[in-house]
């Protein structure tokens, strides 16, 4: 065995390479996957239907501003699916009214209140969506008009999946960012200056993603792939790739890690990720934090132990869009 092959062989745990085609179970090199895909990207994104799946739970005043920002997109979505995670009857009535009054084609799907289940509710919305491209949004985010276009431009250029992030607003800023201001497109005054720590963190996240992506292409070990995080409230993926990994893993219950897990499994399936943190800007409306644990100055998810388990090249979850038996999980 050559030295080059000995360097690659540690990736093949369990008899399977972690870089696999999303369509076939045969190992493919990065150049082989890239050929042909480049010729289809621009045509795909220009012609494909784009569905936005928006999660919501008991914050209709936030959802109203989120939907208003989606209505102002330079590349408007072809449909919006609001996926409600067990809102109370009072809040649900307001959500239904927002969906009916939305200027975009919009529908509402909901699941009963069995605790905070972001993975399950996103899968619910994805099942109801009809588009070939899925954009996952959070109902407490306000998106700048160029956000969706930035995601599609990155998909045109590089394929795979795309992810952005958001700038958290203070309680006072969130209160000032009224529904009327969102409808008027007055978002720029709420974007912090370049020297603001929130913007510096955003730039740092994107640069780190690009460095780690280069390292993962050269040495596609699972430990390197784990450092490329997908953010569930600002991410776009082809439906075919989303279905190939069986969507979000519904074993994740509570806050955190279900989106990073989806990104990891897409990477294991051979679907690369691209950052659009600065191009697809979004503002996070303040709200009380629930179901989280603080470790020092960081939020730590209760799902971390499950997320950190070794995958050994397995990219399809068992409890996702479909329930898979032992034979169906890859």
CB 223 within 8 A of CB 13: no
Q: Is residue 219 scored above 60 in pLDDT?
A: yes
Which range, 6-15, 201-210, 321-330, is most confident?
201-210
Q: How far is it, in rounded angstroms, from Cα 263 to Cα 223? A: 13
> Beta partners for 142?
283
Nearest to 108 by CA among 154, 56, 145: 56
**Residue 43 or 133, more confident:** 133
- What is the assigned CATH class of domain 46-307? alpha beta
Token representation of residue 85: 């995670």
Domain map of the chain by residue range? 46-307
Global confidence as pTM = 0.81
pLDDT band at residue 287, thresholds of 50, 70 and 90?
confident
Per-residue pLDDT tens for 225-250? 777 788 889 999 999 999 999 999 98
Q: How far is it, in rounded angstroms, from Cα 232 to Cα 110? A: 18
Nearest-5° angle of CA 121, CA 127, CA 130? 130
Nearest-5° angle of CA 167, CA 248, CA 73? 45
CA of residue 3 relative to chain centroid, distance: 38
pLDDT of residue 139: 95
Kindly report the number of other CB atoms within 10 A of residue 204's CB atom: 11
pLDDT of residue 11: 38
Residues in the chain: 330
**Residue 103 or 10, more confident:** 103
Q: Is residue 326 scored above 70 in pLDDT?
A: no
């Amino acid at each position: 065995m050559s030295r080059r092959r000995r360097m690659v062989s540690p990736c093949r745990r369990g008899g399977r390479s972690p870089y696999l085609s999303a369509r076939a179970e045969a190992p493919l090199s990065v150049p082989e996957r890239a050929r042909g895909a480049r010729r289809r990207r621009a045509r795909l994104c220009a012609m494909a239907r784009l569905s936005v799946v928006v999660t919501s739970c008991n914050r209709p005043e936030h959802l109203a501003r989120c939907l208003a920002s989606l209505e102002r997109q330079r590349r408007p979505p072809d449909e919006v699916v609001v996926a409600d995670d067990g809102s109370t009857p009072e809040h649900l009535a307001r959500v239904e009214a927002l969906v009916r009054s939305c200027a975009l084609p919009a529908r509402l799907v909901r699941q009963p209140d069995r605790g905070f289940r972001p993975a399950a509710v996103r899968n619910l919305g994805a099942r109801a969506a009809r588009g070939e491209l899925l954009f996952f949004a959070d109902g407490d985010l306000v998106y700048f008009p160029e956000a969706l276009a930035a995601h599609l431009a990155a998909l045109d250029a590089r394929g795979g999946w795309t992810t952005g992030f958001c700038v958290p607003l203070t309680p006072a800023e969130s209160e000032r960012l009224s529904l009327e201001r969102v409808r008027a497109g007055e978002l720029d005054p709420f974007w912090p200056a370049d020297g603001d720590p929130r913007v510096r963190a955003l730039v740092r996240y994107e640069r780190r993603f690009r460095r780690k992506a280069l390292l993962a292409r050269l040495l596609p070990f699972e430990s390197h792939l784990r450092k490329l995080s997908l953010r569930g409230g600002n991410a776009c993926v082809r439906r075919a790739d989303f279905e190939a990994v069986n969507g979000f893993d519904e074993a994740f219950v509570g806050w955190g890690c279900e989106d990073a897990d989806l990104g990891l499994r897409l990477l294991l399936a051979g679907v690369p990720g691209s950052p659009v943190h600065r191009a697809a800007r979004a503002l996070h409306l303040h709200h009380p934090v629930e179901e989280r644990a603080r470790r020092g100055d960081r939020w730590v998810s209760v799902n971390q132990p499950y997320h950190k388990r070794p995958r050994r090249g397995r990219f399809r979850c068992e409890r996702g869009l479909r329930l898979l038996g032992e034979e169906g999980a890859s």
